[in-house]
A and B are shown apart, each in its own frame.
Chain A
């Protein structure tokens, strides 16, 4: 029989956390399942909403930024250019906003039951990832429609891009979520922050637009993710491995900061949430 020791927590271990999350994977599954089920039950249109949102955004952006403003798009038709960006961006922004509020929104569970607290933010990202997969079908349709041939190496790169996005979301999200437990006014700042972040991410414009300043943009992990996704999926440009690496490192740094802050404050969540 395994013995459990409860004592004042002073240290934490990443490997230990991974093990524990694996142990609680059933709960992770059910929390994700709940979020998906509830969302698809509540909105009359259900799954369609997940597609509708990026598609409508794409159409509007295409009209204003593509047609009227004539935003350059590296020679790629603007609809597919902006949709590729939006697909990843909405995965990022949606789950970042969900994760940031996740601890407060689940306070009824946190104050009553023990489980690795990381499960809640992770479940939020996984939920948003399911939406991302559904919305990807539209991109597949666009690729066929515009006769693009994705790079075969995409099979390797796309999972890496998804991992970078995961890390970036969790990094910022864990930080915001823990701060939000203590300071409830933070939630008003987050949507504003995400909105600003969109304009410093090449979603509606190509990174090349910034010329020599595009290097600064690379500090934002989503820059590398979106630029590389375009290069890979549309096969229009060679893959910039340095950019992928820069994004990965930036995302890892974000993740480390968010994770450490989360773990440092985690033990008090139940007392103050």
Chain B
């Protein structure tokens, strides 16, 4: 699907790009030569077969073109292939198939502050990071004062950055990035770090770059507000394929429609679901410190807090949380102990440990039972995606509705 905004020659042309990973090289991230040799000599056939079998297509058949001056957002759920696509565009990893034609100087920001060295001063790190990002020495020298001013860490610019707070390092890193002057700027989820105010300043600067000087920008983010304010066009990825390409607001709506998350729900007494005996007023997904969460990974322990209004006296009540994974398969069900209650508010908290859920979308249904008989089940009370919380950049999916971390004894 090509959707050039003008009749101009595209500045980037992506043609049928696919990328295959060998799962083995990802899963057992660090092989040892010893194990490799042992495996190969003891079970040569199995070793070769295993190599062939464990393949995983992170991208398949991606095609689209970008015209000069366009700001294109790339969005999609975890594992949709956004980062892989950016890595191929940045030439960090080659595609397995396909071809990309780029006409112009590219700078990619997959991270800010790449190569920062704690022993070097702020000024020295500007030189180093600038060079890593592809700036020429003269260019860095010319922009030095402007970078220092933008970062707001001018007082400490000749201090080794090991003495900086993490906020200061991030500001310095962003400031260098904001002074890049390429034809095409590729930006990954880098805005997720740093304080909100400075993030805004950077977004503003990037917006300026695109709108005023006609630069082309490719922007990946989970922050839909940022994508919408910066990009006119959005490419939506799912499972390594392009499933949408069009106006930013339409694509974001499409994405959110498929991926709506509910980390909390609240009703007033009239509209609350349930029955005349007991109603569900509120459901929250909280951290163990009882703070609201907006992101859950496989490594996040969390709790589900339910508030019920009970209208009956002397009633035996029990509650369920039921986790459904995609395709409405019930992953598990947890039951509270049954107890006698009188009229009033009931708070029930269920703790979910880390390393139980898989990297999936889950929806939680809440059910109640009274006097040992089921009362009702309320579907889709909470809906959320679970992100990979294990090894960074793990590209594989484990099968199963859950992914518990269990104890193994090997002998």
Q: Hey, which bits of chain A sit against chain B, CB under 8 A?
A: 1-9, 26-27, 29-31, 33-34, 37-38, 41-42, 108-115, 179, 182-186, 267-268, 270-272
Chain A residues near B119: list those with CB within 8 A: 37-38, 41-42
Beyond the given A7-B95, A113-B108, A271-B93, please list 8 additional residue pairs across the A-B interface where CB-CB is below 8 A: A2-B103, A6-B95, A37-B120, A37-B124, A38-B120, A114-B108, A185-B34, A270-B93
Is the beta-carbon distance between A113 and B136 smaller than 8 angstroms?
Answer: no
Pick the residue among B100, B132, B160 that contacts A7 (CB under 8 A).
Answer: B100
- Determine the residue in chain A with the shortest Cβ distance to B29: A272
B364 sits at the interface (CB 8 A): no
CB contacts (< 8 Å) of A115 on chain B: these are 132
Task: Establish whether residues A183 and B36, one from each chain, have CB atoms under 8 Å apart when the complex forms.
Answer: yes
Say whether A34 contacts B92, CB under 8 Å.
no
Does B94 make an interface contact (CB < 8 A)? yes
Number of interface residues of B (CB under 8 A): 49
Partner of B100, one of A5, A27, A29: A5
Q: Which residues of B come within 8 Å of A, CB atoms?
A: 21, 25-26, 29-34, 36, 87-104, 106, 108, 110-111, 114-115, 117, 119-120, 124, 127-128, 131-134, 136-137, 160, 183, 393
Interface contact B137-A272, CB-CB below 8 Å: no
What are 29 A-B pairs with beta-carbon distances under 8 A? A5-B99, A5-B100, A6-B88, A6-B94, A6-B102, A7-B94, A7-B98, A7-B99, A8-B96, A8-B97, A9-B94, A33-B128, A34-B120, A38-B119, A108-B114, A108-B115, A110-B92, A111-B393, A113-B110, A113-B132, A114-B92, A115-B132, A182-B31, A183-B33, A184-B30, A186-B33, A270-B87, A270-B93, A271-B26
Determine if A4 and B92 form an interchain contact, defined as CB atoms under 8 angstroms apart. no
Q: Is A4 a contact partner of B102 (Cβ separation < 8 A)?
A: yes
Which B residues lie within 8 Å of A38 (CB)?
A: 117, 119-120
Is A5 touching B101 in the complex (CB atoms < 8 A)? Answer: yes
Q: Which chain B residue has the least Cβ–Cβ distance from A183?
A: B33
CB < 8 Å neighbour of B102 from A3, A111, A270, A272: A3
Among A26, A42, A109: residue with most chain B CB under 10 A:
A26
Q: How far is the CB of B258 from chain A (nearest CB, A)?
A: 29
Q: B114's closest neighbor in chain A, by CB?
A: A112
A109 touches B132 (CB 8 A): yes
Q: Across the two chains, which residue of chain B brings its CB closest to A27?
A: B131
* Set of chain B residues within 8 Å of A110, measured between Cβ atoms: 92
